[in-house]
Amino acid sequence: MQIRPIRWQDDALELLDQRRLPQEEIYLALRDYRAVGQAIRDMVVRGAPAIGITAAFAMVLAMDHAAAQSDWRHALRSAAEELRAARPTAVNLAWAIDRQLALAEHCKDAAGARAALLAAAEQLLIQDIADNQRMGQFGVQVLPDRGGILTHCNTGSLATGGYGTALGVIRAGIAAGRDWQIYADETRPWLQGARLTAWELQKEGIPFSLNVDAAAGHLMATGCIQAVIVGADRIAANGDAANKIGTYSLAVLAHYHQIPFFVAAPLSTVDFAMSDGSQIVIEERAADEVRNCGGQAMAPAGVAVRNPAFDVTPAKLIAGIITERGVAQAPLREGLAALRG
Ligand code: MRU
C-alpha cells in the first residue's frame, strides 16, 4: 500500500507524524497555518519536497485566516513570511510559498484565491509523485547494474509526496530487477535512516541492511559499496548540494574509494539564484537532539553541542544529479541549466 505522508481531507491538512515512526502510524489533522509551521519546525513532516508540498497546503489554511482580515492580500503575505521561517535550508519551502503567493496575487477575491491555492497544492502533490517516478527511471540508467548501493537519511515516500527521490531510484531499480544490495545509514541524530528508511523499505519488501553512519568507510574499503545515492535540500546553480549532515563525509569517502556519488532531486530543489554552495544557510538544531536519544540522556547534562542539520557537498564530488528531466553530469552548472531549459 502506498505511503502517503500528506493528505488533504475535510478542509484539514493531515500529516503522518514522522516523530512517532516506526512505533505508531498517527496522522495529525491541522486547520491552522501556524500549527503547520510548528509541525515543519518539529519535523512532524520533513524532507525537502514534503516540506514544500506541506507549505503549499499551509497557504490554503493561511488564506482561511487572511479572508477574515480587512486586507486579505496583506494578511496572506505576512502568513507566508511566518511559514517561510520554519526551516531555512530546504529551498522547496520558499519555492512553494512563492508560487502560491504569485497565484493568489492574480485572483480577484479571497474565495477565488482559496480555490486556486487548493487546486495548485493538490496538483503539486500529484506532480511530485509523477516526477519522482520519472527520476527513478533516469536514475536506474546511470547506476551500476549490480552491487551495493548506500543511501543516507530518508528520501522516500515520507520525504516527498510519495515514491521518493534517491529512495525512488532504489525502488525503481529493484522493480526493474537490478541485483542491488541496499545499505541504509542510520543518520544520527534524528535517525531518519533507522526509523524512516528502514520502515519504508520493510513495508515495500525491499531487502536492505542498516548500518551506523561511521561504518560507511569500512563498507567502502571492503568492496561492499558500488554507488552512493542521496537526496538534497538545496542545490546551488553550480551543483554544490546541501543535504543531511554526514553526506559530505560520504562523498569524500566515495571519492577516495573511486565510487560514484549521485544526488537525486527535483529541479525545484535547484536554487538557480545561488551561484555556489557557500551561500546556503545551514540549519543548526537543538542541542538535546544530540544529547538525548529516544528520550534517554546519552551525554552528561548541559554538555556543549554542535548540531548542524545539513552540510554541503561540492559539485566536483558529484558524478551526476538525477532530476525529473534527466541526469546532469559534469560540468554540473551547464548540465543543470540545460535541464532547466
Ligand atoms: O532534516 P530532514 O529530515 O528534513 O532532512 C532531509 C534530507 O536531508 C533529505 O535527504 C532531503 O530533504 C531530500 S528528501 C527527498
Same domain, 177 and 243: yes
Ligand 1 atom nearest residue 265's Cα: 15
Give me the CATH number covering residue 157: 3.40.50.10470
Query: Ligand 1, from 132, 243, 280: best to mutate by most atoms within 8 Å of Cβ?
Result: 243
pLDDT at 78 over 70: yes
What domain range is 142 assigned to?
134-340
Task: Give the separation between CA 193 and CA 112, rounded to whole angstroms.
Answer: 42
pLDDT in tens, 211-235: 999 999 999 999 999 999 999 999 9
The neighbouring-strand residues paired with 16 are 27
| Domain stop point among 114, 130, 146 | 130
Query: Ligand 1, from 43, 51, 89, 153: best to mutate by most atoms within 8 Å of Cβ?
Result: 153
- Over residues 238-258, the mean pLDDT reads 98
Distance, C-alpha 232 to centroid of its chain: 6
Same domain, 120 and 228: no
| Domain stop point among 106, 130, 154 | 130
Q: Residue 331: is the preceding peptide bond cis (ω within 30°)?
A: yes
Same domain, 28 and 56: yes
Task: Give the separation between CA 228 and CA 141, rounded to whole angstroms.
Answer: 15
Residue entry with cell 568507510 = 217
Classify residue 158 as exposed, middle or buried by CB count within 10 Å of its CB (0-12, 13-18, 19+). buried
Same domain, 78 and 49: yes
pLDDT of residue 1: 57
Ligand 1: which residue has its CA nearest to atom 10? Answer: 231
Closest CA to 15 of 48, 49, 40, 34: 40
| 34, part of any domain | yes
| 1, part of any domain | no
Rounded distance from Cα 255 to ligand 1 centre (Å)? 22
Ligand 1 atom nearest residue 309's Cα: 1
Q: What are the catalytic residues?
A: 233
- Over residues 121-135, the mean pLDDT reads 98
Ligand 1 atom nearest residue 87's Cα: 4
Rounded distance from Cα 200 to ligand 1 centre (Å)? 15
Query: Ligand 1, from 18, 42, 154: best to mutate by most atoms within 8 Å of Cβ?
Result: 154
| 121, part of any domain | yes
Rounded distance from Cα 136 to ligand 1 centre (Å)? 17
Same domain, 94 and 140: no
Number of C-beta neighbours around residue 289 at 10 A: 16
Ligand 1: which residue has its CA nearest to atom 8? Answer: 244
Contact indicator for 243, 47 with CB cutoff of 8 Å: no
Rounded distance from Cα 245 to ligand 1 centre (Å)? 10
Same domain, 322 and 201: yes
Same domain, 99 and 138: no
| 241, part of any domain | yes
Ligand 1 is surrounded, with C-beta below 6 A, by 46-49, 90, 153, 155, 159-160, 165, 192, 231-233, 243-244, 309
Same domain, 94 and 163: no
- Over residues 15-33, the mean pLDDT reads 98
| Domain stop point among 77, 107, 130 | 130
Same domain, 244 and 299: yes
Task: Give the separation between CA 282 and CA 307, rounded to whole angstroms.
Answer: 10
- Over residues 119-138, the mean pLDDT reads 98
Residue entry with cell 529516544 = 294
pLDDT at 2 over 90: no
Ligand 1 atom nearest residue 160's Cα: 15
Same domain, 145 and 289: yes
pLDDT in tens, 251-307: 999 999 999 999 999 999 999 999 999 999 999 999 999 999 989 999 999 999 999
Give me the CATH number covering residue 54: 1.20.120.420
Same domain, 102 and 178: no
Rounded distance from Cα 89 to ligand 1 centre (Å)? 10
Residue entry with cell 545551514 = 282
pLDDT of residue 208: 98
- Over residues 113-121, the mean pLDDT reads 98
Rounded distance from Cα 232 to ligand 1 centre (Å)? 6
Contact indicator for 209, 180 with CB cutoff of 8 Å: no
Please, which residues have CB within 8 angstroms of residue 322's CB and are 6 or more apart in sequence? 135, 138, 139, 142, 165, 169, 229, 262, 263, 264, 265
Give residue 183's pLDDT band: very low, low, confident or very high (50, 70, 90).
very high
* Number of structural domains found in the chain: 2
Same domain, 122 and 216: no
| Alpha helices, H only, the chain | 33-41, 48-66, 72-84, 91-105, 110-142, 166-175, 198-204, 216-221, 247-256, 288-291, 332-340
DSSP state of 308: B
Residue entry with cell 538557480 = 272
pLDDT of residue 283: 97
Please, which residues have CB within 8 angstroms of residue 313's CB and are 6 or more apart in sequence? 240, 241, 242, 243, 247, 248, 251, 261, 263, 277
At 14, which helix (H) or strand (E)? strand 12-16
Contact indicator for 52, 90 with CB cutoff of 8 Å: yes
Closest CA to 76 of 67, 66, 85: 66
Task: Give the separation between CA 167 and CA 141, rounded to whole angstroms.
Answer: 15
